[in-house]
Chains A and B, each alone.
Chain A
Amino acid sequence: MEDEELVSLLILNNEAAFQEFYDKYSNFIYKICFFMLGNEDDAMDSMQNVFLKILKKIRSFNFKGNFKSWIGKIAYREVKNKKRFFARDRKKILDFFKKDLKKQITPEEEFMIMERREILKRAILSLPNKFKIIIVLREIEELEYEEISSILKIPVGTVKSRLARARIALKEILEAKKIEKM
């Protein structure tokens, strides 16, 4: 189903359309929430809020715009607000992840961490917030620069330079971890 059709069905309070909307965009929203908040429970809560907000605001969606970046905007705003409230908790979570990487306590965990994907996930989580969101949007979600710039409300030039810095930072983190392991 096309986005326009989906939106108009959502406005008409169609239950099936909502299910389809969930299937199509829950991953995208969840990724933003998960990588920005760093744990599953908070991500779930935020995702629920995002869906509620989308339902409430769906009538104000401008059909000329890009639906995905509209959703991204809402999700990003929600996550940002949540982070403000739970700034301290988040710091704890991040510290936990960092400690985890250094200590590598149990063999099971070691196996998990050895996995490349898990390493990458944790590396993204340990990035600064600015870089985290841009990596998620560009590398994982593969959005266009223009879409990212409209979600984050920054110029395209800034997106480019920030993405470059984020990639370099990610590379440095991963290199540091390799050395640690050796």
Chain B
Amino acid sequence: MKKCKKFLKLISGHIDGILSKKEEDLLINHLTECESCRKAKEEMEKISKDLKSIDVFPPEKARIKIKRSELLKTYKIQISNFFPLLFALIFFILVFLLWQNLKEKGYPFCLEVRENVSDNFPKLIKRIYIEKEVPENYYIFLELNLEEGKKEVKLIETNYSSYSSYFLNKVKKMKLENFEGKIYYLKIYKCP
């Protein structure tokens, strides 16, 4: 059987007519002895012959689709569409990232500095935006004493005491060079 395997491979060469004379003789000798190989040879020759008759034709629509001008059109579309699309994509990604950034680092809280809270129309001096996540209805009133060169911050009123220390520190660290020598009242609340 092992021998037969070797001869089966030789049959392929025999079909194409590329065997050397020695190999050809060997094969013919074997074929006269071995019936199964003879059958295999006939079978393989028949297959090889039949395969030549196989014809697969491209469908007719291919002829319409594949034309020089059409192909070049698709090629141009490939190139011309690619870059604008890419730029649009990058632009949208950038806008999206920026929007996300603004959303996260937004300034939803206002710090209003007023001269005197007891007046009916306290004068608004400055409005600063602060980033801090606090409850929606949160507010805090602070008194900022800048008389005689000192800087004192006092808590007047708030509805959530847990956040007071954050805003007290924030106000202490603030640079307030233009407002000196007076008492100010500070209000922090959700921006309108």
Contact = CB atoms under 8 A, between A and B. Distances in A.
A44 B65 CA distance: 9
Q: Tell me whether chain B's interface is mostly helix, strand or loop, or mixed.
A: helix
Given A13-B68, A164-B12, A174 B47 contact: yes
Q: Which of B18, B56, B71, B75 has the most CB of A within 10 A?
A: B56
Interface residues of A, number: 42
Given A26-B62, A171-B40, A171-B43, A117 B68 contact: no
A168 B9 CA distance: 8
Interface string A43-75: 110011001100110000000000000000000
B52 interface: yes
Nearest to B49: A139
A97 interface: no
A27 B72 CA distance: 21
Interface of B: 8-13, 15-16, 18, 40, 43-44, 47-48, 50-59, 61-63, 65-69, 71-72, 74-75
Given A26-B66, A48-B65, A52-B71, 12 more contacts: A26-B62, A27-B56, A27-B57, A47-B62, A48-B74, A52-B74, A55-B75, A120-B51, A139-B52, A164-B9, A168-B12, A175-B43
